Amino acid sequence: MTDTHHHTHSHGPPPPVSAHLRRVIAAVLIPFAAAVAAGLLLLWPGGAPTAGDEHTGVGYDQQFEDAKVIAIEEMNCADIGVQVPRGVDDTCEQATVEVTSGPHVGRTFHEVVPPDATQKFHTGQKVIVAYAPNAPEELQYSVTDVDRQFPILLLAAVFALAVVLVGRLRGLLALIGLVVSFAVLTLFILPAILHGSNPLLVAVIGGSAIMLVTLYLCHGVNARTSVAVLGTLISLVLIGVLGSLFTAWAHLSGNTDDQTGLIHSLYPGIEIRGVLLAGILIGSLGVLDDVTVTQTSAVWELKAAEPDAGWLKLYRAGMRIGRDHIASVVNTLVLAYAGAALPLLLLFTVAQASVGTVAFSELVSEEIVRTLVGSIGLVASVPVTTVLAALVVSADRPPGAGPGGTGATSRRRRRRKR
């Protein structure tokens, strides 16, 4: 009786390695969080800078207004001075557009739509127009895009509703975390890069802030979440080191499309290669969170299902789950990047370029480095997070010893509840 009572209420100290590991995690994460907070304060940009006192009129740096199409008339292209390739239908559309916002509400102008245009208009359609105040009156307005605000907002509302209905409180917290991520991205990361701060440093600090807030917000402040945070942090360091090494070694400039070229022309002080590295880190962070949280949760559930399991058994079981996770996640990353670069791959296919020419061009090599560096970080996160989780959960719930161990205690508690 005495022995049973003793074993029920006193399980002895946690395994030394696990207890020491818990102290190491706290010693790493607390200073890390303080450093992230200090970095946010020191690098906080205070808003995005402008390239000048007025809009440049280049790219998205224009003045935009709302408008709507009030009439469409079919006309012969030659009659309105539009040349079309031979063999193409020579019927053009002339849309009459009315400005509905800005200094010239009610003004109308004509927009010609050639027969080979990919974007067609219809009467009553809302559009976005660019306003050039210094241009002649007849050229001040031009249609740049259609207004798709309503369908996008509706889709976002459906997404939020689905997340809350299925995830309930956890889903609501995930949506709050999404808002926090968007806020850090738009209020800190992007403006700080435009202000000339080192893009890689900004991405590390901003990404770490997103990771800390969203993980602890969604999963609670506990040992399980701390393990996921530490596993993510270790993997991010690896991704940063490999990304810096191979972008420099492969002589990747990062200036491979019109958008980066335009940014570099407007803000010459921005380090474009650093923007590439920042993109690799931020792009990997979301998938890393998924992998580390899933692995940690798997180990915790394995321990709950078998309280007497030691850390090594938990690690092996967790790695069996992790290997399946690695296979699916790596394939997901490759397909995601291939999908994003699909127009580029189509152009190379049309040109009938060799595989070597395509793969080793800067445009494709940039995506290859991005994919492989991110994938290496993901692969490394699985064993790192799994072993940390196995050791920490063993410290939280040491294996039962005979009839008076943790398993027996849990069974007695269940009997009392009945």
Question: Tell me, what amino acid is at 81?
Answer: G
Indicate the range of 51-55, 327-331, 344-348, 411-415 predicted with least confidence.
411-415
Instruction: Tell me the domain boundaries of the chain.
Output: 2-45+164-412, 63-146
What is the reported pTM? Answer: 0.73
Residue among 313, 105, 193 at smallest CA distance from 184: 193
pLDDT at 416: 44
Q: Which of 384, 342, 386, 390 is nearest to 364 (CA)?
A: 342
Q: What is the pLDDT of residues 87-100, one digit of tens each?
A: 667 788 889 999 99
Closest to 144 in 3D by CA, of 185, 104, 111: 111
pLDDT, tens digit (0-9, with 9 covering 90-100), for 95-133? 999 999 988 899 999 888 888 777 888 899 999 999 888
**Domain 63-146: assigned CATH number:** 2.40.50
Residue 154 has pLDDT above 90, yes or no: yes
- pLDDT confidence bin for 401, thresholds 50/70/90: very low
Helix (H, G, I), strand (E, B) or coil at 399: coil
Cα torsion through 143, 149, 152, 156, rounded to 10:
160
Quick check: 111 and 92 in contact, CB under 8 A?
Answer: no
**pLDDT, tens only, 221-277:** 888 888 999 999 999 989 989 988 998 898 887 777 667 777 777 777 787 888 888
Q: What is the pLDDT of residues 275-295, one digit of tens each?
A: 888 888 888 887 888 889 999
Return the residue matching tokens 């049973």: 4
Q: Does residue 299 have a pLDDT over 50?
A: yes
Res. 6 pLDDT band, cuts 50 70 90: very low
And the tokens for 418?
Answer: 């009945």
Position 9 confidence tier, pLDDT thresholds 50, 70, 90: very low
3-class DSSP state of 57: coil
